[in-house]
A = this chain, B = another copy of it.
Amino acid sequence: MNIKEVARLAKVSTATVSRTINGSDKVTAETAERVRRAIETLKFYPNTNARALGSGRSSLYGLIISDITNPFFPELVKSFEDVAVQFGQEVLVANTNYDPHRMEVCVSRMLQRKVDGVAIMTSEMDEHLIDEMSSRRIPLVFLDTGTPQKGISNIVIDYASGIDAAVAHLSALGHTIIGFISGPMDLTSARVRRRAFINSLKRKGLKLDRNLIEEGNHRMDGGHEAMARLLDKEVRPTAVLTSNDMTAIGAMGAIFERGLKVPQDISLIGFDDIELSAFTQPGLTTVRLSRQEIAKTAFRALYNAKQHTSAKGAEFTIKPTLIERKSTGPVSTKLTAKHPG
């Protein structure tokens, strides 16, 4: 089953069939209709491999992520695919598993499939692998790493503005003693978030108590333990910001375990806004780092670069936004000291 048989049935040449499939305007309406009917009756599906080979365009965009089981990524992948489909393109997803060697495999796959662009959403990235791709004029886009160059774009996350919004929100509710549970300090993004928190307190004129910053691991168990430590402090915070939502969810468990309530006794704010956060009880107030926005921006950057190959890489900024749910409320002063009542 191929384009020739369709051509025979529709009594046209293969070129006309090809044009019809590709929506060329150089085909009369009637001819196109006849071809479409032939395609329909023969249940013909054009061979993508042959199309890519013949045209030189794969209509395929690569998306390199660390690990699909990390809850940050599934929504990113989904959104990226959604935009791609809107533009009639396809997506090739590759996991590095945080392993530099696997990264090599991922890049190799991209090159072999002749992708039209690659979005690199991991932090670990070999310089020579980038060269391998950019020397072949494949548009690239990075998330928060790398600098714009010819054909290379970058998406920067404005952590400061997001964390500022969170601190302002708590401040408006009367909170002055605000704790922070960071991510693992060997992770760049975790360090950046922690720094943003510290700076934000300063900007708001709130006093910073380093004693109220505890390290988690971006997972539930780390959040649970860090919150337990915070609750044991002499001066207990009335509100806590966390470096990501999983940490906040773990922290929430620790608070409940002590017989305390969120937000009556303690306010809690997460970061990322993973899907789960809407379904915790109470719903988690969090700083949304829109995966959808990241995905859209990344795809558009690549797609544009492919259209006007001359275009040099651009830099895009994404501002996280505060999502107010039920885990934050007015400060309850009776609880600022340990063992109240």
A contacts, CB < 8 Å to B = 43, 45-50, 52-53, 58, 67-69, 71, 73-75, 77-78, 81, 85, 90, 93, 95, 105, 108-109, 111-114, 132, 219-221, 224-225, 246, 250, 252-254, 256-257, 259, 261, 275-276, 279-281
Contacts of A253 in B (CB 8 A): 252-253, 256, 280-281
Are B74 and A68 closer than 8 Å at their CB atoms? yes
Are B113 and A48 closer than 8 Å at their CB atoms? yes
Are B48 and A281 closer than 8 Å at their CB atoms? no
Are A221 and B281 closer than 8 Å at their CB atoms? yes
Contacts of A113 in B (CB 8 A): 48-49
Interchain CB contact (< 8 A) of A281 among B74, B111, B220: B220
Chain B: CB-nearest residue to A219: B279
Copies of this chain present in the complex amount to: 2
Chain B: CB-nearest residue to A275: B69
Q: Is the interface of A mostly helix, strand, loop or mixed?
A: helix
Contacts of A252 in B (CB 8 A): 253
Are A280 and B78 closer than 8 Å at their CB atoms? no
How far does the alpha carbon of A246 sit from the alpha carbon of B52 in the complex, in Å?
A: 43
Are B68 and A77 closer than 8 Å at their CB atoms? yes
Are A224 and B281 closer than 8 Å at their CB atoms? yes
Contacts of A221 in B (CB 8 A): 279-281
Are A68 and B69 closer than 8 Å at their CB atoms? no
How far does the alpha carbon of A67 sit from the alpha carbon of B250 in the complex, in Å?
A: 25
Chain B: CB-nearest residue to A91: B93
A-B contact sample (8 more), CB < 8 A, given A68-B78, A219-B279: A46-B112, A67-B78, A69-B75, A93-B93, A246-B279, A252-B253, A253-B253, A257-B261
Best-buried of A58, A74, A81, A275 by chain B (most CB within 10 Å): A74
Are A279 and B220 closer than 8 Å at their CB atoms? yes
How far does the alpha carbon of A67 sit from the alpha carbon of B275 in the complex, in Å?
A: 13
Question: Min CB distance, A301 to chain B, in Å?
Answer: 22
Are A90 and B109 closer than 8 Å at their CB atoms? yes
